[in-house]
Structure 1
């Protein structure tokens, strides 16, 4: 019965993220063989298309201002997807050790209250993943349907023309003509580009969900550790061994958190940099759409803004929460009955409290702390920039 419960807990905490990341070859608990490498290479090559085709469109001068913005947005999304997939393969050992540790946590936990804490954090991870991935898929569907629906008047005018201007889910008309792709394959190309967009969303938000889920699990383990310090019983036997086990557990969680921070450092740097640029570009496009009463452009800009703001919000919230959980370890130790412990243990407590004053933090490029303060700073800068542009547009 207990074995079945363990299996159900592990499936509840990990199955959605396995379904998202196994097809692209970055699932940490997979067998890292030639087949997983092939899946990763195929996913990376498909995402490269979303970078190459819009870049060629801009270089050939076949796009207007609106399509240029769409091309830049798609290029940034493709770059982020490729970087996340490659980095998670490079730092596969870090993710594998963390997910392996999480699996062992579910297999070894016996306290019902602690198990409930782990389930709660797993539930939060599932909710965040569902919201991010589903919203991005919905945005891609709307984004892909807009060029196909088109404008009736334009379609009627195009029927009389010898050269029909075809619109694709992503700007790629001139690039496809350059490669000699016949117009008779229009529907097949549209379907292929739609699949590439879906794959790019999976590589972006799927990898985000994979990382955020295990980071929340580490936060849950830190919360359990804090509860263990508070509930520590000094009257029972083997006080030294049990308290030293908690100290070792603290060191182990710090090690796991450091591995996660190292794995995501460069990705976060590019995420902050590209997201900040896109927020300004798409925000300006949204202002122009409001001025021209262009509902289609407003909808596209709004969806892109929401998608990137969601990414920044979730990373900032989880980074801030991880930092606060690590800092509170020293506070909870101080609130425990440490004064009843043997003298040799109270000496170790000082070092734990000192260590908690320098908690593990998610950092972009190992120099920008990703937390709510950073998030608010990015928002303030972007809004200030957009306010200046709005005044310029109205004057």
Structure 2
């Protein structure tokens, strides 16, 4: 009885995470699955998306105007860090929306898998085990994001003078008016909370990648248990099902790459700029201890945001390589020649590198992430030397 209750609790937690991801994506109008094709629903959805994306772009422009008015480079660097998050959010909205068809296919497959998690298929078993990793990633990512948002939004309340969470240009004098100050403050809170929902695109990436990893595990399990019987038709049918299943997973990975490759590239470029600017702000003699801590957390948040993509790219590449190892370990030498050719075909496809890149240029592997950290550090030292 306890095992059944624990199983139901785990399934509830998994469905809760997925529902939470859907809600966040719907808030910013980029949930790809549309069940209602009515014209007025499409118009409402388009207006919703335009409002959110325009708000992000407008906020970036207003912060840019304020940044251009600053004469001190270190002060400008303090504004550039948060501005990069606006660029990332706006880019996510546009890119995610433009790949709605591919993302809808992936989301429908995921929902079908979640609806049948109580069935003890191999994919479901491995997918549930992978969700422990997914929950850890989600908690870690959102924990830092919430802490950082609270720090930025509550920081001005601790100061004596009237200040706003972010340096934004407003066409009214909020410094000498309580009403305009309250309006400006609430506006920045709403923008921060709403655009924070775009982080659900990271969650959907986690879901898609780990779902493919679970299916790679199933292929691995099937390959090591190829039946060694004399029935040629059964063996051929079994191997054909593996090849088709493998092809389906590889097609999904290709769709994931098409949908997320430019999002990752955008994050890559924005994170380099944001971390360099955060480093300049921390090393500035004028920055307070609280500001320095916020900028350090901001740099960690950006680095963590990019790390998830590289880490999961490494994870799925490792699982794909294990498929080739499983094919080698199978009793392929005892099969007929045409079945051996099928096994060789699976090995060849598994040994080919997975096409998951940032901007179709940089492979999402951990060694590339280490190169990113080294490059960012060199950029920081160069810019620091110039500004000093």
Q: Contact 1:13–1:123 at 8 Å: present in 2 too?
A: no
Q: Contact 1:48–1:82 at 8 Å: present in 2 too?
A: yes
Q: Contact 2:77–2:280 at 8 Å: present in 1 too?
A: no
Structure 2 CA distance for aligned equivalents of residues 293 and 99 of structure 1: 45
Structure 1 CA distance for aligned equivalents of residues 265 and 49 of structure 2: 22
What are the ranges of 5 or more consecutive residues in structure 1 without an aligned counterpart? 156-165
Q: Contact 1:126–1:213 at 8 Å: present in 2 too?
A: no
Deviations along 1:305-330, whole A, 9 cap, x unmatched? 11101112111101111222222221
How far the C-alpha of 1:366 sits from its partner, in A, is 0.9
- Higher deviation after alignment, 369-378 or 228-237: 228-237
Q: Contact 1:329–1:356 at 8 Å: present in 2 too?
A: yes
How far the C-alpha of 1:298 sits from its partner, in A, is 1.0
How far the C-alpha of 1:339 sits from its partner, in A, is 2.2
Q: How does 1:84-233 map to 2 (within 5 A)?
A: 84-106=92-114, 110-111=119-120, 114-150=123-159, 152=160, 155=161, 166-172=162-168, 174-177=169-172, 184-203=179-198, 205-233=199-227
Seen in structure 2, the aligned counterparts of structure 1 residues 112 and 350 have a Cα distance that, compared at 3 Å, is closer
Q: Which residue of 1 aligns with 2:29?
A: 25
Q: Which residue of 2 aligns with 1:313?
A: 307
2:278 paired with 1:277: no
Q: Contact 1:9–1:106 at 8 Å: present in 2 too?
A: no
Q: Which residue of 2 aligns with 1:286?
A: 282
Deviations along 1:141-175, whole A, 9 cap, x unmatched? 1112222322x4xx4xxxxxxxxxx4212112x43
Structure 1 CA distance for aligned equivalents of residues 193 and 20 of structure 2: 17
Structure 2 CA distance for aligned equivalents of residues 176 and 113 of structure 1: 60
Structure 2 CA distance for aligned equivalents of residues 337 and 8 of structure 1: 40
Q: Contact 1:50–1:78 at 8 Å: present in 2 too?
A: yes
Deviations along 1:110-129, whole A, 9 cap, x unmatched? 44554321112223223212
Structure 2 CA distance for aligned equivalents of residues 283 and 184 of structure 1: 35
Structure 2 CA distance for aligned equivalents of residues 240 and 13 of structure 1: 40
How far the C-alpha of 1:253 sits from its partner, in A, is 0.3
What are the ranges of 5 or more consecutive residues in structure 2 without an aligned counterpart? none
4+ residue runs of structure 1 moved beyond 6 angstroms?
4-7, 389-393
| 1:43 corresponds to which of 43, 52, 75 | 52
Q: Contact 1:13–1:122 at 8 Å: present in 2 too?
A: no
How far the C-alpha of 1:389 sits from its partner, in A, is 6.4
Structure 2 CA distance for aligned equivalents of residues 371 and 268 of structure 1: 13
How far the C-alpha of 1:73 sits from its partner, in A, is 1.9
**TM-score, structure 1 as length reference:** 0.85
Q: Contact 2:276–2:379 at 8 Å: present in 1 too?
A: yes
Q: Contact 2:25–2:201 at 8 Å: present in 1 too?
A: yes
How far the C-alpha of 1:357 sits from its partner, in A, is 2.0
CA RMSD of aligned residues (A): 3.0
Q: Contact 1:326–1:356 at 8 Å: present in 2 too?
A: yes
How far the C-alpha of 1:346 sits from its partner, in A, is 1.4
Find the residue that maps to 1:168 and give its secondary structure: coil
Q: Contact 2:309–2:364 at 8 Å: present in 1 too?
A: yes
Q: Contact 2:27–2:194 at 8 Å: present in 1 too?
A: no
Q: Which residue of 1 aligns with 2:242?
A: 246
Provide the aligned length of Structure 1 versus Structure 2.
Answer: 374
- Higher deviation after alignment, 302-311 or 248-257: 302-311
Seen in structure 2, the aligned counterparts of structure 1 residues 7 and 138 have a Cα distance that, compared at 3 Å, is closer
